[in-house]
Structure 1
């Protein structure tokens, strides 16, 4: 898999045609470490080269099963969205087993709050803020916005874009598959059913939930397919126009497709952004 991603990065770079965006690297968004570690998670910002005032803003949260992943893997995703005129913010967050889902989500929420407060410095419009994530990142992005304990006003988020998101109903999954030390799941989710529900975005859907755009790979993991179908069923009464956009892809290609600037996904996401700008 590393070889495949590395090859995509090299080949995709050839399509960039020079510097079409400015990258602001390793910006600190936390004043103190939630995980009480010495190094604070940071974020990268990708700003369009010929940016207009009040540009829309997209926060991308990376995946990695809650115990792996790095913001710098997704530089091409950030540059490609910036090339389309969207300021893109990509944060790191502390991983399991050092922290649980709760601390991770607090950090993602802190990245959202930092963006709302500071993105105008880069000509971004804090009132046109969208959030997206792949796999575990989709879970953390949705939970940070939807669970009120994290302090994000859902009305301040213009839309949520899920890309083969995992963890949308962890309560249901963990009741059938109790967490163990395998994949650091016991550290991530704890052994408390109360926490499993607290960690599940599906239980926080309401009339204030931002609009959704949801992608699902037809060749992805069965647990992701099950959770996305359950999530859609719960979402439909609130957003009846929403459907899963099925793509004939496995889990990892669902995100690496954004390394290619000509992917049809960019037009779809931009259309969703334009439709839901406030």
Structure 2
């Protein structure tokens, strides 16, 4: 037993969700270029879950048809994991299981932070450290920060074991995960319905799932049918990579976003940023699964992009629902079990279940 587990037992802290119902570190891809991030965690529904699920006939047995809700975490395409509570993946998947569904949270290959983004963040945090250091008359704090950032830069840009990851690699990973879930989820949960998959993502994860389902070339490349996706729930996402926080590309907020975040993305040769903006693929008459778009009240300016995204859906007569939830860009995911995002989320799932 770890020291952390002993401390929790000493303090009488009990997990809100039975850890025995979590199947961890399931490898969803095992090809020659398999990565440590090619794994997912499965949260099985509790027997106490109160959920209205329909049943279907299979031979002589009647089984529940439980939709599978697959969550993709955020982190600016360079940070985060399926285990990170600060990115909200575990909270959302636990809540899905508590509601009686099968929750899956997926890790994927991450991009390497760009030089321009690295130095921009270093400058921002450096100003804070300098102010604190001068206030405390502590040159050691400033020197220590500079030394740490030099080491971090060297690790990030000269550690050759890391292969640069572009955005197509991330979309491939999501496709691999969906294929694994379709083919193997019943081995982990016999009541799961692999033909009822709801995709959900937060922040950069919301960008990826929106792009995956709107630009159908990625799913077609992997022979995964769009019809298996019953709905898409996009939480505080990015839909226009060039200017998600303002209507103008040349606004200072748009420049700041591109420097800090969009600059981290690499594209395959011959492709450009606009081709990876989900909003560009919303068209009238196209087959698009129903979308639920959620924004936080304080969403780092991304609510501008969400409203523009939703308006494009509506102008093209495509199915979409939109809600703004109290809280911040981070808390809409980390506090998912307690905020209104949960209500809208599961109303949408139950509305679009096939059975």
What is the TM-score with the length of structure 1 in the denominator?
Answer: 0.82
Q: Does 1:39 align with 2:3?
A: no
CA distance in 2, matches of 1:41, 1:109: 11
Equivalences for residues 18-167 of structure 1 within 5 A = 19=18, 22-32=21-31, 36=33, 39-50=36-47, 53-73=64-84, 74-97=89-112, 98-121=164-187, 122=189, 123-151=191-219, 152-166=224-238
CA deviation profile, 1:62-81 (whole Å, cap 9, x unmatched): 00000000101233332221
CA distance in 2, matches of 1:241, 1:143: 16
Of residues 36-45 and 116-125 in structure 1, the stretch that sits farther from structure 2 once superposed is 36-45
Larger-Rg structure: 2
TM-aligned CA deviation for residue 38 of structure 1: 5.3
TM-aligned CA deviation for residue 237 of structure 1: 3.0
> Judging changes above 3 Å, is the alpha-carbon distance between structure 1 residues 275 and 184 closer, same or farther for their aligned structure 2 residues?
closer
- Kept after mapping to 2: 8 A contact 1:171/1:193: no
State the partner residue of 1:7.
Answer: none
CA deviation profile, 1:69-100 (whole Å, cap 9, x unmatched): 01012333322210111101111001111312
Superposed CA RMSD: 2.9
Instruction: Give the number of equivalent residue pairs.
Output: 259
TM-aligned CA deviation for residue 43 of structure 1: 0.4
TM-aligned CA deviation for residue 255 of structure 1: 0.6
CA distance in 2, matches of 1:180, 1:227: 12
State the partner residue of 2:137.
Answer: none
Specify every segment of 5 or more residues in structure 1 that has no aligned partner in the other structure, as ranges.
1-12
Q: Does 1:245 align with 2:323?
A: yes
CA deviation profile, 1:100-153 (whole Å, cap 9, x unmatched): 222111111211121122223212101211000000000111112222221243
Partner SS for 1:137: helix
State the partner residue of 1:196.
Answer: 273
State the partner residue of 1:257.
Answer: 335
Q: Does 1:169 align with 2:240?
A: yes
